[in-house]
Amino acid sequence: MYLPSFSLKGKTALVTGAGRGIGQAIAIGYAEAGADVVIVSRTQSDLEKTAQLIESVGTKAYLFEADVTNKDQVKGIFETLDLEQINVDILVNNAGMNIRSKAFDVSDEEWDTIMHTNLRSAFWFSQQAGQRMKESGGGKIITISSVAGHVALRTGVVYASTKAAIIQMTKNLALEWGQYGINVNSIGPWYFKTPLTEKLLADKEYLQDILDVTPQKRVGELPDLVGPAVFLASEAADYVNGQTLFVDGGMTIQGF
Ligand SMILES: NC(=O)C1=CN([C@@H]2O[C@H](COP(=O)(O)OP(=O)(O)OC[C@H]3O[C@@H](n4cnc5c(N)ncnc54)[C@H](OP(=O)(O)O)[C@@H]3O)[C@@H](O)[C@H]2O)C=CC1
Ligand SMILES: C[C@H](O)[C@@H]1OC(=O)[C@H](O)[C@@H]1O
């Protein structure tokens, strides 16, 4: 009567940065929820591993070895999908990186690399997928931000600026595209153990600093993130738009 479906059966999702870490987990979780998954990253061997795991749960994987900072390659992905008549119903802009320089030390090249990878690529994929979703009657766009977009972290001003921009971009795209049946939302994780953070989390003192400001006193496990990602991609979130869901063990509410 009231419970909407959390299933992604019959849907096709595109996940950037799906070669490892959070993107790989979301791609596999979407497959477990029934979706076929288009997976994008620069490392073919990583993609092949993710594809094997997707197909082991019975759905299809479409692999694209591409650099999300290269506009021709981004457009090429969608042109190929058009030719193969594969519609993207769900887009997850996950690809991201960080160079943890102090503000005085940030070079123009570092600025460009972080901005282009984390922010501009998400906008390019959203434009390409959003245009097609408008024509097909709707879809879901989810971009991975970070608590760093909401509170100040010691892990770099440029990274934090991209994540804050993603939160605002999410609102603006939701404002423009809600009329087309497109839900645009963001997920803001706190620390999860992935290749991006492995070294940081191996430092016992640093890990203790993290736990001291985390009400749940643990870092995230990847299934903690996949659940919210499936929710936002499903019809259960059809009236959720322009929001950022922090998946952070309570970190962003930290009070005293
Ligand atoms: N781990 C964490 O604690 C947190 C992560 N996040 C965010 O989650 C997202 C994923 O992070 P995480 O899984 O930890 O990172 P990882 O470094 O583990 O994985 C990043 C993925 O993105 C891909 N990628 C990076 N640059 C490009 C590029 N230019 N073109 C195509 N693919 C690219 C990588 O593949 P390849 O290098 O082979 O191209 C890899 O598959 C990021 O946006 C990050 O900011 C947010 C908060 C916390
Ligand atoms: C929680 C942050 O996003 C975290 O900070 C880092 O240094 C890593 O880049 C993670 O993304």
Tens digit of pLDDT for each residue in 201-233?
999 999 999 999 999 999 999 999 999 999 999
In a domain, 1, yes or no: no
Ligand nearest to the CA of 198: 1
**pTM beyond cutoff 0.95:** yes
In a domain, 6, yes or no: no
**Tally of domains in the chain:** 1
pLDDT value for 205: 97
Instruction: Identify residue 23 by its one-letter amino acid code.
Output: G
Tell me, using a 6 A CB cutoff, whether residue 249 lines ligand 1: no
pLDDT value for 109: 98
Catalytic residue among 2, 30, 62, 159: 159
pLDDT in tens, 43-77: 999 999 999 999 999 999 999 999 999 999 999 99
The three-state DSSP-derived secondary structure of the chain is: CCCCCCCCCCCEEEEECCCCHHHHHHHHHHHHCCCEEEEEECCHHHHHHHHHHHHHCCCCEEEEECCCCCHHHHHHHHHHHHHCCCCCCEEEECCCCCCCCCHHHCCHHHHHHHHHHHHHHHHHHHHHHHHHHHHHCCEEEEEECCHHHCCCCCCCHHHHHHHHHHHHHHHHHHHHHHHHCEEEEEEEECCECCCCCHHHHHCHHHHHHHHHCCCCCCCECHHHHHHHHHHHHCHHHCCCCCCEEEECCCHHHCCC
In a domain, 56, yes or no: yes
pLDDT value for 21: 97
C-alpha to C-alpha distances, 47 to 19, 29, 44, 227, 247, nearest whole angstrom:
5, 15, 5, 22, 25
Q: How confident is the model at residue 256 (pLDDT cuts 50, 70, 90)?
A: confident
Instruction: Identify residue 156 by its one-letter amino acid code.
Output: G
In a domain, 7, yes or no: no
Residue to probe by mutation, ligand 2, list 145, 155, 186, 209, most atoms within 8 Å of CB: 155
Q: How confident is the model at residue 179 (pLDDT cuts 50, 70, 90)?
A: very high
In a domain, 4, yes or no: no
Task: Determine the structural domain holding residue 67 and report its residue range.
Answer: 12-247
pLDDT at 186 over 80: yes
CA of 98 to the centre of ligand 2 (A): 7
CA–CA separation, 64 vs 91, rounded Å? Answer: 14
What CATH number did the domain enclosing 195 receive? 3.40.50.720
In a domain, 3, yes or no: no
pLDDT in tens, 69-88: 999 999 999 999 999 999 99
CB-based burial, 47-78: b 16+ in 10 Å, e otherwise: beebbeebeeeebebbbbbbbbbeeebbeebb
Tell me, using a 6 A CB cutoff, whether residue 67 lines ligand 1: yes
Any residues with Cβ below 6 Å from ligand 2, and which?
Answer: 98, 100, 146-148, 153, 155, 159, 190-191, 196-197, 200
Q: How confident is the model at residue 255 (pLDDT cuts 50, 70, 90)?
A: confident
Annotated active-site residue 159? The verdict is: yes
In a domain, 231, yes or no: yes
Mean pLDDT of all residues belonging to the chain:
97
pLDDT value for 60: 98
In a domain, 253, yes or no: no
Q: How confident is the model at residue 135 (pLDDT cuts 50, 70, 90)?
A: very high
- Taking each helix axis as running N to C, give the angle between helix 71-83 and helix 121-136, from 0 to 180 degrees, rounded to the nearest 10: 20
Contact 23, 53 (CB under 8 A): no
CA–CA separation, 51 vs 37, rounded Å? Answer: 9
